Amino acid sequence: MVGSVPSCETIWGPKEGSQLVRTSKSIWACAKYFQLIRSESLPVMRSLKGEVFSMYQYRSFFNTCRIPGETKDSIARYFKTESEGFCPLHVIVLCNGHIYKMDVFDQNEEQYGSYEILRQLTYIKERSSTKGQGIGVLTADDRTSWAKVYEHLVTLDPSNKKLLDTIQSAIMVASLDSETPQNITQLMTANISGRNCEDRWFDKSLNVVYYESGLLGFIGDHCPYEGLLGTIFNAWGDNLVSRITTDWCGKPDVRTDGSAPQELIFVTDEKVQQAMCHARDTYTKLAGKCDVFCSGFSLYGRVWVKEQGFHPDAWMQLAIQLSYYTRHSKPAPCYETATTRGYYHGRTETIRACTNEMVDWCKAMQNPHATRSERLELMKAAGTMHMIQGSQALDAQGCDRHLLGLYAESLEAGEDTPEIFTDPAFFKCGGAGNFVLSTSLLGYWAGCGGVVPMRDDGYGVYYNLRKQDFYLSIFSFKTCLETSSYELFQEMYRSLVRMQNVVTESKL
């Protein structure tokens, strides 16, 4: 999954020569958030109704990494709270193929200020003028190929295992990237398909990319936690840094003992070099498929929607369905994320947004003979049904996780696959990761994010419901001639206008 930080639209717009200063402040903010979680000082999250949410996923936000396996990957979590004991306190910096271990805390676990972090980053940048090993590219390969070369690296030399452990256990990865995106669409494109795949560690739970233009991007493995945690952190860190009135964050002190970041050099051979070439080819083919478009809708926002008696999330899902129906002349199975963090170790459930009520309303919007009142009533019915399904999903009463559990039980028991999971209707309605529309609410603040579609002919539509405007991040694949992220955005814009007209004209 990828994302941006809100400040890219405000105080941290593109600016030549700002990369290292902004990186130092951002890493300082990351370390501050890490410290809050480690000391168990982060306020407990609650639902809009005030119900307590499980904070378990925060144990996987930092110091976490996916480990490749030939048959199944695993998740390595190195994070511990202060009461549980020691936790790794370093970060990994990738720059021009080089990999460095950098300290952001001293031996007493006192956090370094941004000036000290800047000193270390400058050291790294100056020593990375020539191309490094580029080991990070291996994480961009298909999982089976990466798993095989991972095992080869470990057996090739004992030092390689220690270096991998150092990367995997780090608080986060910071990538100093030479690309120069100038707007949010370019930034998100660089995040998900940028040219410098050697300067990523795609298995890490948190990999922040700091571009030469001064913009910041976010990459994270989606397995350990749901994406909303990333957008919450981005908003928190952005607010923290934007309110600091000094040129530095934290302490202005700089170490004078000559301490320097440690470069990690792997022992490689011809097999590893061939695997790196294969990984780059794999990445280049996949990256070339990605089509991203991000932009805002400024005619109204969630405040106006609520004044009309609609829930903003239901309103946006109405717009998504209408846009797809208008563009493709058919409805599409749609996945929307619902959190189940109201339960112990809860993660997500699926809101199946494409309901009969939604389709009936879309048909009425396309029917020139439908009256204003008919469209409005069908619109209200579709919105109501969406909220009912959403409430059920939040209460863990959806069907998808239940079906997944039954499927997993049948596998573990060695039984034949139940017929429902091989029925064509199961796939057509989105089962087994076949939703044409993959959607999610990213929050009520600035910023954006998302992941690629589940299907080659699908879309990923992710949205921020701000007070006076909306922001959309749309993903598709260039290899499908029927889809276009830009054209879907244009249709979304028209749909939001049409929906406002339905409401306002019915009052005339």
Tell how far CA 469 is from the center of its chain.
21
CB atoms within 10 A of CB 123: 16
Mode of pairing for the β-strands spanning 437-443 and 459-465: parallel
103 φ/ψ angles, rounded to the nearest 5 degrees: -85, 140
HSE-CB of 124 using CA atoms within 13 angstroms: 31
Active site residue 222: yes
Edge-to-edge strand ranges of the sheet holding 173-177 = 262-263, 98-103, 90-95, 173-177, 207-211, 216-219, 2-4, 449-450
Q: Are 498 and 475 in contact (CB under 8 A)?
A: no
Q: Are 494 and 483 in contact (CB under 8 A)?
A: no
3-class secondary structure per residue, 280-319: HHHHHHHHCCEEEEEEEECCCCHHHHHHCCCCHHHHHHHH
Q: Please name which of 88, 245, 239 lies closest in space to residue 171, comparing C-alpha atoms.
A: 88
Residue recorded with tokens 């796939």? 427
Q: H or E element: which one contains 473? A: strand 470-477
Cβ-proximal residues to 412 (8 Å cutoff; 6+ apart), any chain: none
The active-site residue, picked from 222, 278, 386, 402, is 222
Residue recorded with tokens 């202060």? 82
* 175 burial type by CB count under 10 A (0-12 exposed, 13-18 middle, 19+ buried): buried
Q: Please name which of 312, 394, 353 lies closest in space to residue 47, comparing C-alpha atoms.
A: 394
The residue count of the chain comes to: 508
Return the active site residues: 222
